[in-house]
C-alpha cells in the first residue's frame, strides 16, 4: 500500500434520523502514518461519523472502503476485525479491575482446550503495549489508584490491544493536564511511525496545528473541505467550519465596574486550598486561572456549599452570609455552572423546560401541584435569550449538542436571577461558534450589572475576557493581574510556580 492510498475511506455516506440528516453524502480519507484532524462545530456530524466508522450506526447510503475494498461494518466487532478502534473522551473503564483486566475485558486470551484464561500471556502483552506508548504502569495495578491521565493511557492501551490499522482519537485531551497532553502527543507520534492511520477530533486549534498532518472540515453534516495543515490558517479553518468569519471570538465590552458584589476572606480547606481572599464587583469578569489540581474548581464548589470542612467569611452585597448548601448559595444570589455539565449541570433524560425550571420548582409550582405552563414560560424566556437551538422545549437535553447543553445550564441558573454567577470552564468541549455565543452572553451579563467569576484553562479566553486574573498554584493564590498587565508569559509562569513571589 502506498502513501497515497487511503487505508480507510468513506464515499457519499449518508445517515439520517427522524427529522434530521446527520451526515449528507460526506467523504473521508485516512492515510497510514498520518494524523487527519476532523474539524467542525457541535452538530457538524463528527460523533455520528465515529459511530458509523465503528459499527454502532449503519449508514443509509454510500460506501465504506478499507484498504481499497468495499466493506460493511455491521457492529463494533466487525470494526475491530477490520482493525478500526476508537478512543473516546468518556471511555468506560472499571476502577476495581487491574490495568490488564481493563485492557482485555471482553477479549481475553485463553489457553488449552478448556479455554482457561492465560493471565501470564495477558500481563506480558500488557507490558508490551504499555512500553510501546511509554506508559510506565504496573499491569496488576487497580485503576482506582491511578490519575485521570494514567487511566487515559489504559484506555489507549486497551484500544491498541487489537491489531489496529485505524485509530480514532475523539476529544482525547479534554480531561488531561498540560503534561499529560504532551505525553499523548508523544504517543500519537509513535502511532504514526508504526504506520497507523489516525483520525483526531478536537476543538482546540493549537492541538490541530501541533499534531495533525491533514484536515477535513464538516459543516452541518456535509463535507466542507480538506487539505494539508501546512497549507491552511486557523482563520481559514474557522471560516470553512461556520461559513462566515468569526473575528470576534472574545467580544469584551467596556463596562463600568461598580461596588463589591461578593467579598471572600480567609477561605480555607484542610486539603484543597488555603488563605483565599478576593472580591468581585458588579460589572466585572474575574478569572481564576491555574493548572489542573491548582484548587480553582474546589474554591468555587466550596463557595456554592458543595464542600465540607471549609472555614472563612463571605459577604454578598456587604452582608455576611453562611453557605452550607447550594440552596443557601442560591438564596444569597450566588449560582454555579459546573465544569462537568453532563454529570453535574443537567439531567440528560429530562426535557429542556424541566431542566431550566428545576432550581425554582417551589416558586413556580405552588401547593405541591405542577404548573407546566409556568415552567414552559421560564424555559422559553431564557432559552430564547440564550438562543438554544431546539425544535421544542420538550426535547431531551441529552439530544442537544454540547454548546446547547451548556446554554441550558446557564439558562437554568439565570432564571433564578442571581447577583453572582460562577462559570467553571464555560466553553469546555464546545465549538468555536458556541464559544463565541457564550462569550457574547458573558458580556451581556456584566452589562446587566451581574458579577461573573470564570474558571478557565484556556489562556486566550482568560486574556480575552477577564477584567482581572487571579492565578492559582498548588491551592494558593500566587499572583493577580489586571487586564492591562496580564501577558501570556507572566500568567503561565505564575501558574507553573515560576513567578510565585
Number of folded domains that form the chain: 2
Are 122 and 186 in the same domain? yes
Q: Is residue 247 part of a domain?
A: no
Same domain? 235 vs 305? no
Number of other residues whose CB lies within 10 A of the CB of residue 370: 12
Using CA atoms, how far residue 102 sits from 91, 95, 122, 142, in Å, is 11, 9, 11, 9
Q: Is residue 210 within 8 Å of residue 185, measured between CB atoms?
A: yes
Domain edge (last residue) among 242, 272, 290: 242
Mean pLDDT by 10 residues, the chain (501 residues): 75 85 93 93 83 93 93 92 82 85 85 86 91 86 84 82 86 70 81 90 85 92 94 85 60 85 95 95 94 87 91 94 92 86 70 75 64 73 74 79 77 81 82 75 86 88 92 93 90 72 38
- Residue 380: CATH number of its domain: 3.40.50.300
> Can you give the pLDDT at residue 190?
83
What local confidence, expressed as pLDDT, does residue 501 receive? 38
**Cell 493564590, located at residue:** 477
**Residue 310, pLDDT score:** 92
Q: Residue 447: which H helix or E strand, with range? A: helix 432-447
What distances in angstroms separate CA 425 from CA 184, 215, 302, 434, one per listed residue?
22, 26, 16, 13
Beta bridge partners of 142: 98
Task: Work out the angle at residue 364's Cα, subtended by the Cα atoms of residues 401 and 417, and round it to the nearest 5 degrees.
Answer: 65
Domain range for 101 is: 8-242
What is the C-alpha separation between 101 and 139, in angstroms, rounded?
8
Closest CA to 278 of 57, 455, 46, 412: 455
Q: What is the pLDDT of residue 2?
A: 43
Written as nine digits, the cell of 16 is 439520517
Per-residue model confidence (pLDDT) at position 341: 62
Residues 31 and 104 in one domain: yes
Q: Do 279 and 262 touch, CB atoms closer than 8 A? A: yes
Question: Do residues 186 and 321 both lie within one domain?
Answer: no
Amino acid at each position: 500500500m502506498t502513501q497515497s492510498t487511503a487505508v480507510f475511506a468513506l464515499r457519499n455516506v449518508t445517515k439520517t434520523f427522524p427529522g434530521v440528516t446527520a451526515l449528507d453524502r460526506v467523504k473521508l480519507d485516512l492515510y497510514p502514518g498520518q494524523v487527519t484532524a476532523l474539524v467542525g462545530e457541535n452538530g457538524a456530524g463528527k460523533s455520528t461519523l465515529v459511530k458509523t466508522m465503528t459499527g454502532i450506526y449503519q449508514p443509509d447510503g454510500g460506501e465504506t472502503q478499507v484498504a481499497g475494498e468495499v466493506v460493511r461494518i455491521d457492529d463494533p466487532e466487525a470494526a475491530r476485525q477490520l482493525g478500526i478502534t476508537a478512543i473516546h473522551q468518556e471511555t468506560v473503564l472499571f476502577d476495581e479491575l487491574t490495568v490488564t483486566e481493563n485492557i482485555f475485558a471482553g477479549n481475553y486470551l485463553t489457553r488449552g482446550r478448556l479455554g482457561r484464561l492465560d493471565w501470564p500471556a495477558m500481563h506480558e502483552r500488557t507490558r508490551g503495549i504499555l512500553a510501546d506508548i511509554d506508559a510506565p504502569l504496573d499491569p496488576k495495578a487497580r485503576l482506582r489508584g491511578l490519575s485521570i491521565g494514567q487511566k487515559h493511557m489504559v484506555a489507549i492501551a486497551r484500544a491498541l490491544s487489537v491489531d489496529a490499522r485505524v485509530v480514532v482519537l475523539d476529544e482525547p485531551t479534554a480531561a488531561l493536564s498540560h503534561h499529560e497532553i504532551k505525553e499523548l502527543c508523544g504517543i500519537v507520534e509513535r502511532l504514526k511511525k508504526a504506520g497507523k492511520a489516525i483520525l483526531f477530533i478536537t476543538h482546540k486549534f493549537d492541538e490541530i496545528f501541533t499534531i495533525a498532518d491533514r484536515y477535513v472540515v464538516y459543516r452541518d453534516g456535509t463535507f466542507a473541505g480538506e487539505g494539508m495543515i501546512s497549507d491552511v490558517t486557523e482563520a481559514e479553518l474557522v471560516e470553512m467550519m461556520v461559513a462566515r468569519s468569526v473575528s470576534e471570538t472574545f467580544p469584551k465590552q467596556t463596562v463600568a465596574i461598580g461596588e463589591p458584589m461578593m467579598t471572600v476572606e480567609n477561605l480555607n480547606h484542610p486539603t484543597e486550598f488555603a488563605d483565599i481572599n478576593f472580591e468581585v464587583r458588579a460589572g466585572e469578569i474575574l478569572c481564576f486561572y491555574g493548572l489542573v489540581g491548582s484548587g480553582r474548581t474546589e474554591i468555587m464548589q466550596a463557595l456554592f456549599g458543595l464542600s465540607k470542612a471549609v472555614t472563612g467569611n463571605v459577604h454578598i452585597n456587604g452582608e455576611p452570609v453562611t453557605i452550607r448548601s447550594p440552596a443557601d448559595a442560591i438564596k444569597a444570589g450566588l449560582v454555579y455552572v459546573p465544569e462537568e455539565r453532563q454529570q453535574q449541570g443537567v439531567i440528560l433524560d429530562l426535557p429542556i423546560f424541566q431542566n431550566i425550571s428545576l432550581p425554582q420548582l417551589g416558586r413556580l409550582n405552588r401547593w405541591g401541584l405542577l404548573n407546566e405552563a409556568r415552567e414552559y414560560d421560564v424555559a422559553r424566556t431564557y432559552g430564547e435569550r440564550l438562543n438554544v437551538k431546539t425544535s421544542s422545549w420538550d426535547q431531551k437535553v441529552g439530544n442537544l449538542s454540547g454548546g446547547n447543553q451548556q446554554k441550558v445550564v446557564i439558562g437554568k441558573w439565570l432564571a433564578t436571577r442571581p447577583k453572582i454567577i460562577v462559570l467553571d470552564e464555560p466553553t469546555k468541549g464546545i465549538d468555536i461558534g458556541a464559544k463565541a455565543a457564550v462569550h457574547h452572553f458573558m458580556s451581556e451579563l456584566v452589562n446587566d450589572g451581574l458579577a461573573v467569576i470564570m474558571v478557565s484553562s484556556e489562556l486566550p479566553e482568560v486574556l480575552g475576557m477577564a477584567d482581572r486574573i487571579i492565578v492559582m498554584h498548588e491551592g494558593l493564590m500566587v499572583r493577580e493581574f489586571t487586564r492591562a498587565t496580564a501577558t501570556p508569559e507572566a500568567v503561565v509562569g505564575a501558574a507553573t510556580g515560576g513567578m510565585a513571589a
